Each structure stands twice: as structure tokens, then as C-alpha cells.
Amino acid sequence: MKFKILFLLLIAVSITACKNNKKNTADSTSDEIKSQKDSLIYPEEVHFKSLKQVTFGGDNAEAYWSFNDQQLVFQSNNKNWGLSCDQMFLMNADETFKDAKPPMISTGLGRTTCAYFLPDNKHIIYASTHLVDKECPEVPLRKNGKYIWPVYDSFDIFVADLKGNIVKQLTNEKGYDAEPTVSPKGDKIVFTSTRSGDLELYTMNIDGTDVKQITDELGYDGGAFFSPDGTKIIFRSSRPKTQEAIKAYKDLLAEGLVEPTEMELYICNADGSELRQLTDLGNANWSPFFHPSGKKILFSSNFEAERGFPFNLYMIDLDGKNLERVTHGETFDAFPVFSNDGKKLVFSSNRNNGGGRDTNLFIAEWQD
């Protein structure tokens, strides 16, 4: 899974407010609305033509567009919606949910993660633990003083319709199967699994057939996405190198845990060939997504941070050059996902949350 909410606990409560781009008082109602909208954009964020907040409260993240860009599916643990852990929700691309609850399209049982639309725009895939336990699993956050993520071996990947009915189970191997995303070509799914004994990437057809392992180096390979033409895959990996790091990684994985504080981005062909490391920045570089051109990667990182935060969005060429900072927040920006037409970007942020811990979804009009 993409573990959106767990990363947020790295952010100190002492950070009390985001920056605001102050505007002069507008003379007309339309100008006032525009000023309020633009105040969400920090002055340095030149790629955002406009920015709209679409959720208000709780932890909301990993929003993904339907193939026709008319809807989004996302996960939330908003307690005001009666949730104890992440479930999947559906929204139209032009909706906001300040006082209303969107329709839930997961079962409401267990813990869910990583929903993604299928090409027919009528079904989604997502991972869930509900077959093993209908209750929310515990969420360990620290071990021996170090920040950790749980890797639940109860996760399997399912297909559901937009009314929440599960119509098919795609995985049934022992261990962790999660983090599925779909190729823009509509023919393949990439996902992470522990079926080999390590956290590796696999691909399969959208009906669950023809499963192939495409990575085989020790380390956590996850959060993978296809390029716009479906020929490449970008993902994050921990890849321990020293004997001490290798032992620590293996020991944690044996307990169903990983330590995500040191991750870099890797890129390969869709069949796993021509694998290479893209970033070498240090700290945690993750939640990558291809720019619509297919020539750049947008991702979240805290490599400039001294205490683990803030996380901001960055953009980098496929050859590792021309690194550019995209967002300029003081807390957390992550999970950037472009619409299929390349005109909009949805991402998760702590901005405009009154200094609390809420993480909300924002949709930006993108300009290069």
C-alpha cells in the first residue's frame, strides 16, 4: 500500500500554520472567490494555475482518476464518516465534501488501500484485509525507536463495482498483495507482493492472469506506476546495501514491518528490463507519478528536511537531471496524480488545515 496516513505522523504538532499568499480585498464577489481560491497556492508554486480543496477533515489521500477523468476514487479514515481505518470513497471530479460524506465503495470491513479505476470506468481494484479479519488491524508506528510501516499479510487485491460489490478476487497467494495500479493502456496491473519472500513488483493482466515477477533485488519495491504509454514503470525502493542494513531489513520484514525513512526512485521497462536508479537524494523519496509528457517524474520527498519534514513535491527528468521543487509547503504534500488528459493534478496536503493533522485532497489546474 502507499501508506499515506502513516507518513503524516512524522509531522510535528508544533507546526501550527501554512503560509498564505495574501491578496488585496477584491471589489467584486467573483474576485473574492478567486482570491480565496488562489490563497491556497504559495507564491513559488508556478505550476498551479488554480487550486481547489475538495475534502475537509480527516486523512484523505491516494486519489486516482477514472479513465475518462470524470470521477476519482480515494481512501479516507475520516472519523466523522464513522471510520476506524481507511476505506474507499467515490467522488465526481467537480465535487467537494465539506459537510457531506461521499459514497463508500469498499465493504467497510478490515483495512483497505490503493484503489484504482479499471478502463471501463465502472469498476475499481483495491487491496483489503477483510477476508482475514473484519476489524481494523493494529497499526504499529515505531520499533526500537525507529519509524515503521506495517506490511499486512492479510491484504489481497479485489475488483469491485462502483456500488461497492466485490465481483472478483485477483490474488490469493499467501502473504502481502497490495499497491495495484493500472496501465493507461488498460491491459496490465502492477502490484507489490511478498510471495517470493521479499517485497517485489509483479505484473498481471487486468483479469488476474499471466502473473510475472519483474523485480528481484533485496528491498522494498512498491508504489509503482506505469508511464502514459505503458512502456515504463516508476517505483520507490529501500534497497539496503550494508550487512547491517540488510539484517535490519530482513528482521523487520519477518515481523511484517518495513522502515521507510530511506527510499529512492527506480525506473524500468514494463517487463522489468533496463532497471536503473533515478534519484540519489537521501531521506525518503516516494509517491512518484509520470508527467503527462512521459519525460518527467513528479514525486514527494523530504530530502531537504533536517528533521524528517516537510515533504514537498518535486519534478525530475527521466535521466535524473533538472530537479525542480514544485510545492513549497511547511508540512506535507504527496501523492501527485495527473488526470489522463494531463490538465489537472490531484494531490494530498496538510495546507489549509488550521495547523492540525488533517490531510485533504486538492485539485490543481496544471501549467508547464
Chain centre distance of CA 340: 16
Q: Which cell goes with 348? A: 494530498
Per-residue confidence (pLDDT) for residue 139, from 0 to 100:
86
Per-residue confidence (pLDDT) for residue 111, from 0 to 100:
97
Residue 85's Cβ-side half-sphere holds a number of Cα atoms within 13 Å equal to: 18
Q: What does each C-alpha distance from 155 to 96, 131, 225, 273 come to in angstroms? A: 30, 8, 19, 27
Burial class of residue 25 (count of CB atoms within 10 Å of its CB; 0-12, 13-18, 19+): exposed
Average pLDDT (207-216) is 98
**296-301: strand order across its sheet:** 285-290, 296-301, 312-317, 324-325
Cβ neighbours of 320 (radius 10 Å):
16
Cβ-proximal residues to 326 (8 Å cutoff; 6+ apart), any chain: 45, 47, 298, 312, 313, 314, 315, 336
Bridge partners of residue 189, in order along the sequence: 182, 204
> Are 33 and 306 within 8 A, CB to CB?
no
Per-residue confidence (pLDDT) for residue 146, from 0 to 100:
78
99-138 tens-digit pLDDT: 899 999 999 999 999 999 999 999 999 999 999 999 999 9
Question: Quick one: what percent of the chain has pLDDT higher than 90?
Answer: 83
Q: By C-alpha distance, which of 244, 181, 248, 243 is closest to 220? A: 248
Per-residue confidence (pLDDT) for residue 38, from 0 to 100:
57
pLDDT at 2 over 50: no
Per-residue confidence (pLDDT) for residue 366, from 0 to 100:
98
339-366 tens-digit pLDDT: 999 999 999 999 999 888 899 999 999 9
Integer Cα distance of 169 and 127 in angstroms? 10
Per-residue confidence (pLDDT) for residue 359, from 0 to 100:
96
What is the chain's mean pLDDT, rounded?
90
Q: Where does the pLDDT of residue 306 fall: very low under 50, low under 70, confident under 90, or very high at 90 and above?
A: confident
70-96 tens-digit pLDDT: 999 999 999 999 999 999 999 999 999
Integer Cα distance of 272 and 65 in angstroms? 25
pLDDT at 11 over 60: no
Pick 4-366's CATH classification: 3.40.50.2300, 3.40.50.2000, 3.30.565.10, 2.120.10.30. Answer: 2.120.10.30
Q: Where does the pLDDT of residue 333 fall: very low under 50, low under 70, confident under 90, or very high at 90 and above?
A: very high
Q: Which cell goes with 37? A: 481560491
> Are 235 and 203 within 8 A, CB to CB?
no
Cβ neighbours of 168 (radius 10 Å):
12
**344-349: strand order across its sheet:** 48-53, 360-366, 344-349, 333-338
Q: Is the peptide bond prior to 310 cis by the omega test (within 30 degrees of 0)?
A: yes
Per-residue confidence (pLDDT) for residue 307, from 0 to 100:
81
Sign for the CA dihedral angle at 259, 260, 266, 268 comes to: positive
Per-residue confidence (pLDDT) for residue 243, from 0 to 100:
97
168-182 tens-digit pLDDT: 999 999 999 999 999
233-248 tens-digit pLDDT: 999 999 999 999 999 9
Average pLDDT (171-195) is 97
Integer Cα distance of 290 and 320 in angstroms? 13
Per-residue confidence (pLDDT) for residue 12, from 0 to 100:
33
pLDDT at 203 over 50: yes
Average pLDDT (4-26) is 37
Per-residue confidence (pLDDT) for residue 36, from 0 to 100:
40
